[in-house]
Amino acid sequence: MTKRQCRENAFLLLFEGSFRDDAPEALYRAAEEVGEITVDDKVRALVEGVRDKQEELDGIIASYSPKRALSRIPRVNLILLRIAIYEIRYVPETPVNVAVSEAVDISQKYTYQEDTAFINGVLGTYARSLPKSEDQKPEGE
């Protein structure tokens, strides 16, 4: 599975999980039963990492989206923002520009054009705020 597929599968699981109060294992079982979402260790790590850090990620999103309250951000957008920011902060092998680009690309499939622009704007502003050493992660995707 490519890293892109891993991100998209994690996105779909997190989106499904946002409507339910199930533990991640229940989401994984349901996904496997349906057979449309592959769940491997990398997908699990991304899903569980985002869920574990959700409060912190939401705080970051809120601070970089001053004109739109967190409660007014569409769920799809919020999950894509959480994944990208999680990867930037906690997955050192993921370059910042790749995390931003992947979130924008996935958003083009699942959101409206205005939402894609919003996601790109929030992530771009966040990325520019990072210290240069963090922003200059090596390419290697």
**pTM for the model:** 0.90
**Three-state secondary structure string covering the chain:** CCHHHHHHHHHHHHHHHCCCCCCHHHHHHHHHHHCCCCCCHHHHHHHHHHHHCHHHHHHHHHHCCCCCCHHHCCHHHHHHHHHHHHHHHHCCCCCHHHHHHHHHHHHHHHCCHHHHHHHHHHHHHHHHHCCHHHHCCCCCC
The CA distance from 4 to 137, in Å, is 18
- CA end-to-end distance (rounded Å), the chain: 13
In one letter, which amino acid is 78?
L
* Torsion of the alpha carbons at 109, 57, 48 and 89, rounded to the nearest 10: 90
97-108 pLDDT, tens digit per residue, is: 999 999 999 999
pLDDT above 70 for 114: yes
The predicted structure's pLDDT at residue 140: 40
Assess whether pLDDT exceeds 90 at residue 33: no
pLDDT of residue 108: 97
